[in-house]
């Protein structure tokens, strides 16, 4: 199958010339106009994913995690579709505000927020600030001129058994307060002692690429039990429980994804059970998906620059981008799906390693993919599932400017972020 619908954007088609089209536009035409590499974004897919969430989880508050992919227009799509926005830096907050997102729908995260950041967030009127450490409690309180709603981030001690870099629910990692030794309870006490801090509830985030909904049920049970402890000790009934994001998506054919209908059932059952056991009123649940909304909307286009057959038998296809626009292979050993996008892939195929243009041997775009045996310089390659954590994690390694983000919708093309030029990079170099 050339374009597995589980991996490619909703509107992906192949035209009579064999060219891959997204949003009614041939990727080759976008590549000719905007150059390569380029991130292409299918607005219809992005909005479709949000609507799927809203339909599957009607009683749950959904906040989009902007760290996955954020531009002003993306923030507007998110707001248009009725979602909140989760930010974790002044830059992400500024992007949301510049897009006109209602600050009350913004949730501010971060394990090392500075005084200035806390003040800026409070002054902007954000809906929630998620408190991650003890220092932050007094620091935030000292910056406030009016009441601020906050959540307390808890590490519930749940292991998703994923990549260590994205395992955040266990106790032995940097985020949040542990339940053990009364750390989370003490944080609650200290927040309650601050007259301008309004404690709305608790937050946890288990990690990334979670495809089994069961850990979210376990998180709810543990968090509701903590909420009941808070009520029993301090007489305060917390009403909000944010269970974070981390919903897994497929990158190659056959990969699992988190089933939203199953997630909805797990959330409901866990709430029923935990609230009955603790005799606790059902809190309002919130989730924060990033990848599951953005990933499949994105495709990255590269031009083939060279094809090298090694005496040992491996074939390296070098393209004009690489770990600068996609560090995920080097960081997490991520796997990707690649196809030729400018023509029919006729004839036999070969197994190749697609590599980038950056100066290190670990600069791989995709390992062991099947591409036409006659692939040659000038061919256009498209890599699926690159909407999340690509644009947002790109670097300028080797003084290579970052690619543009180009949105497509109903045959229209709109450049959301322009390519970073060498002149842009030199502007910061003060000589």
Identity of the residue, 156 or 244, whose beta carbon is nearer to ligand LLP in the bound complex: 244
User: What CA–CA distance (Å, rounded) separates 308 from 294?
Assistant: 34
Task: Note the residues at the interface with ligand LLP (CB under 6 A).
Answer: 65, 67-68, 86, 109, 166, 205, 208, 244-247, 288-292, 328, 332, 388-389, 393
C-beta of 84 vs 372, nearer to ligand LLP: 84
Minimum distance of ligand LLP from residue 395's CB (angstroms):
13
Q: Which is nearer to ligand LLP, 286 or 304 (CB)?
A: 286
In whole angstroms, the minimum distance from the beta carbon of 339 to ligand LLP comes to 22
Closest distance of CB 385 from ligand LLP, Å: 11
Instruction: Measure Cα distances from 138 to 183, 286, 395 in Å.
Output: 16, 26, 35
| CB closer to ligand LLP, 62 vs 227 | 62
Q: Residue 11 CB, nearest distance to ligand LLP (Å)?
A: 22
Contact between residue 391 and residue 69 where contact means Cβ atoms under 8 Å apart: yes
Report the candidate in 133, 170, 175, 130 with the shortest Cα–Cα distance to residue 149. 130
State the nearest-atom distance from the C-beta of 150 to ligand LLP, in Å: 14
CA dihedral 72, 58, 55, 248 (to 10 degrees): 70
Compute the least distance from the CB of residue 393 to ligand LLP, in Å: 6
* Coil/strand/helix, residue 176: coil
Q: What is the DSSP letter of 166?
A: G
Closest CA to 277 of 222, 216, 205, 204: 222
- Nearer to ligand LLP by Cβ, of 111 and 353: the residue is 111
Are the beta carbons of 318 and 305 closer than 8 angstroms?
Answer: yes
Active site residue 359: yes
Nearest to 93 by CA among 126, 63, 60: 126
Among 21, 88, 204, 359, which one carries the catalytic annotation?
359
| Closest CB to ligand LLP among residues 84, 345 | 84
Residues 336-359 as b or e (16 or more Cβ within 10 Å = b): bbbbbbbeebeeeeeebbbbbbbe
CB contact at 8 A, 62 and 41: no
Catalytic residues: 359
């Amino acid at each position: 199958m050339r374009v597995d619908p589980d991996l490619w954007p909703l509107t992906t088609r192949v035209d009579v010339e064999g060219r891959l089209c997204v949003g009614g536009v041939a990727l080759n035409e976008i590549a000719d106009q905007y150059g390569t590499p380029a991130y292409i974004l299918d607005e219809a897919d992005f909005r479709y994913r949000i609507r799927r969430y809203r339909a599957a989880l009607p009683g749950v508050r959904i906040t989009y995690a902007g760290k996955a992919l954020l531009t002003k227009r993306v923030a507007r799509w998110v707001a248009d579709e009725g979602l909140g926005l989760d930010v974790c830096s002044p830059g992400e907050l500024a992007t949301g505000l510049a897009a006109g997102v209602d600050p009350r729908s913004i949730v501010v995260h971060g394990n090392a927020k500075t005084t200035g950041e806390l003040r800026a967030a409070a002054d902007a009127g954000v809906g929630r600030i998620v408190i991650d450490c003890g220092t932050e409690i007094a620091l935030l309180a000292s910056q406030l001129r009016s009441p601020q709603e906050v959540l307390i981030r808890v590490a519930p001690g749940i292991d998703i058994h994923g990549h260590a870099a994205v395992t955040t629910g266990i106790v032995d990692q940097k985020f949040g307060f542990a339940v053990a030794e009364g750390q989370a309870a003490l944080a609650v006490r200290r927040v309650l002692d601050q007259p301008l801090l309004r404690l709305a509830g608790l937050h946890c985030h288990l990690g990334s690429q979670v495809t089994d909904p069961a850990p979210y049920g376990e998180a709810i049970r543990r968090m509701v039990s903590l909420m009941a402890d808070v009520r029993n000790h301090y007489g305060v009934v917390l009403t909000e429980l944010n269970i974070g994001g981390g919903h897994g998506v497929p990158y190659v054919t056959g990969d699992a994804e988190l089933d939203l209908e199953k997630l909805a059932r797990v959330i409901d059952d866990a709430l029923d059970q935990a609230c009955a056991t603790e005799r606790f009123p059902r809190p309002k649940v919130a989730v924060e998906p990033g990848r599951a909304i953005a990933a499949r909307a994105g495709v990255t286009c590269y031009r083939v620059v060279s094809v090298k057959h090694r005496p040992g038998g491996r074939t390296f296809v070098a393209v004009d981008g690489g770990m600068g626009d996609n560090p995920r292979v080097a960081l997490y050993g991520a796997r990707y799906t690649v196809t030729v996008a400018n023509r029919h892939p006729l004839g036999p195929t070969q197994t190749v390693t697609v590599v980038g243009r950056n100066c290190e041997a670990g600069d791989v775009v995709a390992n062991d993919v099947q591409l036409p045996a006659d692939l040659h310089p000038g061919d256009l390659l498209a890599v699926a599932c690159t909407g999340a954590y690509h644009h947002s994690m790109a670097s300028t390694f080797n003084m290579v400017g970052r690619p543009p983000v180009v949105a497509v919708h109903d045959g229209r093309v709109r450049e959301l972020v322009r390519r970073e030029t060498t002149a842009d990079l030199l502007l910061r170099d003060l000589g």
